[in-house]
Structure 1
């Protein structure tokens, strides 16, 4: 099995686990519009450094900075692209970071995908949403 197919298999398994959690967890059933499955991948195609988590926002959980991420998403109406960019001085080092978000917010589907030039730019543009490392 190639590294790419392993990554695809792991992501599929994680999504299946998230779906099972959502189908069986009482807090999620009570507020189905407030969750996102988030993934972050560092590096290019030859590097396999991926992380993922299920962010729940009623109450905030499942994410190292869940309360901050949920508050930022609430202010942006669940639209990651509308989170105000922070002033940051980032190096011009190219160390790509690709992020994905899938889920629902206020009953609307959310789909977000973007590659940032490095982690500093990612943090400046998306706040705490993709701060998956604590």
Structure 2
């Protein structure tokens, strides 16, 4: 009888320790989600795809983070972040209409896309160009999609 009571005591003690540890862990995780800093997040994935918008195959892609400081796999994150800040993250303002005589009319479409978060708001943008010449002419000297 003493042997059985000893085992029950061990089981109850182990159970109490396990329950206490689980309660402490769940209490630690129950706090409100907080931002890691004072900056609204700005993290994007930029890509260039070959083909129509519905079937484009990604050729190149980079990440771009702008807050609190520029970074990511983009080759020129500081310049790209500055350019995006100058247009308040409106990707459509990065492209300009091109004149009709600059490029051939060859249909070899490219799709530029940007997805992620810019200064705390969700971003999902894409634009299709008839060929690489049209894309380069439309982007001019911009650095955001120069990768």
TM-score (norm 2): 0.57
Q: Is the 8 A contact 1:32 1:104 kept in 2?
A: no
SS at match of 1:60: coil
Q: Larger radius of gyration, structure 1 or 2? A: 2
Q: Which runs of 5+ in 1 are unaligned?
A: 1-28
Q: Is the 8 A contact 1:123 1:131 kept in 2?
A: no
Q: Is the 8 A contact 1:101 1:113 kept in 2?
A: yes
Q: Which runs of 5+ in 2 are unaligned?
A: 1-35
Pairwise CA RMSD of aligned residues? 2.9
> 1:116 and 2:129 equivalent?
yes
SS at match of 2:133: helix
Q: Is the 8 A contact 2:98 2:134 kept in 1?
A: no
Kindly report which structure 2 residues correspond to 1:1-134, keeping only aligned pairs within 5 A, or say none: 29-30=36-37, 31-43=39-51, 48=57, 50-58=59-67, 59-61=69-71, 62-83=73-94, 85=96, 89-126=102-139, 127-132=142-147
Aligned CA distance change for structure 1 residues 46 and 85 (closer, same or farther; 3 Å): closer
SS at match of 2:88: coil
SS at match of 2:48: strand
Aligned residue pairs total 105
Taking the aligned partners of 2:136 and 2:109, their CA distance within structure 1 comes to 13
Runs of 4+ in 1 over 6 A off after TM superposition: none
